[in-house]
């Protein structure tokens, strides 16, 4: 016996209003999570550690052979300071990271229901506080609390079911080699 086809979902909003809301929410979250940051050289435990990471990169020290720090060989990109070309390289890296984040947010915005996207945009506010206000540890706190690291689609049979986690970038920046 054949089952009747399910009735098509009825939209509560016209398609153009749904699309406009998705675009606005995506742009809002993308600009809110803008990752541009740099640090000034200063005294203190955390500051001297960040200065050392940048200075050792400028001097050509090799992680694992010459130095061993909790952040790996790309740490100068996460904690940029104006030493050598570290700041320029880090700003390019951060711009490219932002483009990747914008792409992931766009992918996310097109695949989740509008209420979930609205929830993400609301949660992006405390996420941006984690990113910008926790000094040297801000990016690590941000990625660890990011919905991207935990979000999974409800249908595992769907080939686009799991969102690629940016925790890979966190591993590259924070692990020592």
Q: For residue 125, what are the CA distances in angstroms to 7, 31, 86, 128?
A: 38, 11, 29, 5
Residues 44 and 143: beta-carbon distance below 8 Å: no
The residue with greater pLDDT, 54 or 175, is 54
Q: What are the domain boundaries of the chain?
A: 43-151+160-174
Residues 78 and 170: beta-carbon distance below 8 Å: no
Supply the pLDDT for residue 15.
87
pTM beyond 0.85: the answer is no
Supply the pLDDT for residue 140.
60
pLDDT value at 151 more than 60: no
């Amino acid at each position: 016996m054949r089952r009747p086809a399910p009735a098509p979902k009825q939209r509560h909003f016209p398609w153009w209003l749904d699309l406009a809301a998705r675009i606005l929410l995506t742009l809002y979250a993308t600009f809110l999570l803008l990752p541009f940051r740099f640090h000034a050289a200063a005294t203190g435990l955390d500051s001297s550690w960040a200065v050392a990471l940048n200075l050792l990169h400028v001097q050509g020290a090799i992680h694992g052979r010459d130095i061993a720090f909790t952040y790996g060989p790309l740490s100068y990109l996460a904690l940029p300071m104006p030493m050598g070309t570290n700041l320029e390289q880090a700003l390019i890296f951060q711009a490219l990271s932002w483009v990747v984040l914008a792409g992931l947010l766009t992918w996310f915005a097109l695949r989740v229901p509008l209420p979930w996207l609205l929830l993400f945009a609301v949660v992006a506010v405390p996420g941006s506080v984690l990113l910008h206000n926790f000094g040297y540890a801000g990016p690590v706190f941000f990625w660890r609390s990011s919905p991207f690291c935990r979000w999974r689609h409800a249908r595992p049979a769907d080939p686009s079911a799991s969102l690629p986690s940016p925790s890979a970038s966190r591993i590259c920046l924070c692990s020592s080699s």
